[in-house]
Amino acid sequence: MFKTSIRSLSTVARKSLKIGLIPADGIGKEVIPAAKQAIIALGSDIPKPEFVDLIAGWECFTRTGVALPEETVEILRNECDCALFGSVSSPSRKVTGYSSPIVALRKKLDLYANIRPVVSVSPDVNQRPSIDLIVVRENTECLYVKEEILTIGEHGKEARATRLITERASRRIGQMAFELALARSRKHLTIIHKSNVLSVTDGLFRETVRGVPLLAGLNGKYDGVTIAEQLVDSAVYRLFREPEIFDVMVAPNLYGDIISDAAAALVGSLGLIPSINAGDDFVMGEPVHGSAPDIEGKGIANPLASIRSAALMLRHLGYSKGADKLDIAVDRVIREGRVLTPDLKGTSTTNEVLEAVLSKL
């Protein structure tokens, strides 16, 4: 079970929980319905769930010319308590008028923290040490501001991208990371950067995160948290060599994306890794895996990351009892090893894995 304590958005009692569902593209259309069924199965452990089906994604763009309809944003902002997002099939080439809807949603709803726990559950045949870490990824800036230009220079085409790191974004992602570290038994935080090369941008990120405990009003709150640093290339190396040294890792947007995907390889599959996109006013669960077009429609997509993402979302809202039940059910299915999808060397279908999880509830 994920031992992640994340500050709740609200403790207000709700009679119902309105959840936006955005399957988007690829296997998102298969795993988000599975997460929906798992949430329904919790019964009285959460307020009565109400679901709102919303659209976004590459397929939406090809049909309508818009990847993220404004109606989707407005319904999430004004009607929903939280949301689940599936996956996006963004093209690798530039397409005029298209921009990733998940990146846009994070910015429009100010979901500045992408929190990705990576935990080993089943015994490792290679006898790797137990892995229990959280990647806290800044979610709104870095190269993901998507400001690129293409010009013609003396030696042909020249492409440039703007990388934005701000003190404000670095401070609040740093504070989120310190909160997570403080709630865990090891109370250890590693700042990931490359300030030996990018001394201005990564230097600002590093200095700002390190300065969080010194902010006025904290009164020594984080004195028990040990602070470490790793250059991003060294961090990837040590992640594979000695993952047990990491507890909470905080990183700028691009580094956090890469590190969390790499960490997923240590626990068996991207199909196991959940995340939430969290802000001060909203939270959206999102499995870390992509749209997986190679298996789309085959009924073999792993639904466990989406179910775990639903659990993270519920825990962030304060419904720990329901979240714990989902996590325990998923852990039991993995440990038993009888009903697993092909990414975990099993032969089961998406629906069979879902039914196995529901049976544990």
- Domain interval for residue 75: 1-111+279-361
Q: Are residues 250 and 329 located together in one domain of the fold?
A: no
Q: Kindly tell me if the per-residue pLDDT of 5 is higher than 70.
A: no
Q: Kindly tell me if the per-residue pLDDT of 6 is higher than 90.
A: no
Q: Are residues 295 and 216 located together in one domain of the fold?
A: no
What is the average pLDDT across 318-342?
95
Question: For residues 7 and 80, what is the distance between their CA atoms, to the nearest angstrom?
Answer: 19
Domain end: 274, 293, 328, which one?
Answer: 274
Residue type, 344: L
Q: Are residues 66 and 120 located together in one domain of the fold?
A: no
Q: Are residues 216 and 182 located together in one domain of the fold?
A: yes
Task: Give the pLDDT confidence of 221-256 residue by residue, as tens digits.
Answer: 999 999 999 999 999 999 999 999 999 999 999 999
Q: Are residues 151 and 12 located together in one domain of the fold?
A: no
| Runs of H (alpha helix) within the chain | 28-40, 58-64, 70-78, 101-108, 167-183, 201-210, 232-241, 253-264, 304-316, 320-336, 350-360
**What's the pTM value of the predicted model, to 2 decimals?**
0.90
How many structural domains is the chain composed of?
2
What is the average pLDDT across 60-88?
97
Q: Kindly tell me if the per-residue pLDDT of 220 is higher than 70.
A: yes
Q: Are residues 248 and 201 located together in one domain of the fold?
A: yes
Residue 219: pLDDT band with limits 50, 70, 90:
confident
Res 125: pLDDT: 47
Q: Are residues 253 and 123 located together in one domain of the fold?
A: yes
For position 212, which CATH number holds?
Answer: 3.40.718.10
Res 8: pLDDT: 53
Domain end: 274, 293, 308, which one?
Answer: 274
CA 7 to chain centre: 16
Q: Are residues 246 and 283 located together in one domain of the fold?
A: no
Residue type, 339: V
Among 112, 220, 223, 120, which Cα is nearest to 170's?
112
Question: For residues 24 and 45, what is the distance between their CA atoms, to the nearest angstrom?
Answer: 28
Q: Are residues 124 and 270 located together in one domain of the fold?
A: yes
Q: Are residues 229 and 321 located together in one domain of the fold?
A: no
Q: Are residues 120 and 244 located together in one domain of the fold?
A: yes
Domain end: 250, 274, 298, which one?
Answer: 274
Res 271: pLDDT: 86
Question: For residues 4 and 117, what is the distance between their CA atoms, to the nearest angstrom?
Answer: 8
